[in-house]
Structure 1
Amino acid sequence: MDHEVRITLRLPADLHEWLVAQAKRGRRSLNSEIIHRLEAGRGDVPTDDGSL
């Protein structure tokens, strides 16, 4: 990333819990997990577990 932008994001509690669990499973921070999934969703990186 050349430039980073900080945002505030509101998530439903159950989605947040799921993302936290996925981040732990992938040994990533929550922020890194969200970025990974967004990039995978637009085709920038392959998914490591076959899901989004």
Structure 2
Amino acid sequence: MEHEVRITLRLPADLHEWLTTQAKSARRSLNSEILHRLEAGRGNISTDDQSP
């Protein structure tokens, strides 16, 4: 990434738990999992198991 911005994000507890579980399954940090999903949704990456 060229430039990073830190944000505070509020998530429902059940969504946080689900994302955490998905991140662990993919051997990614929670931050990397969220980035991966956002980029995949935006069409920047394939939806395979590769880390961003």
Higher RCO, Cα 8 Å, sep 6+: 2
User: Which runs of 5 or more structure 1 residues have no equivalent in the other structure?
Assistant: none
Which contiguous aligned blocks of 4+ residues in structure 1 show a shift greater than 3 angstroms? none
Number of paired residues? 49
Aligned to 1:2: 2
User: Could you state the TM-score of these two structures normalised by the residue count of structure 2?
Assistant: 0.91
Unaligned 5+ runs, structure 2: none
Counterpart residue type for residue 7 of structure 2:
I
Aligned to 1:38: 38
Percentage identity across paired residues of the two chains: 82
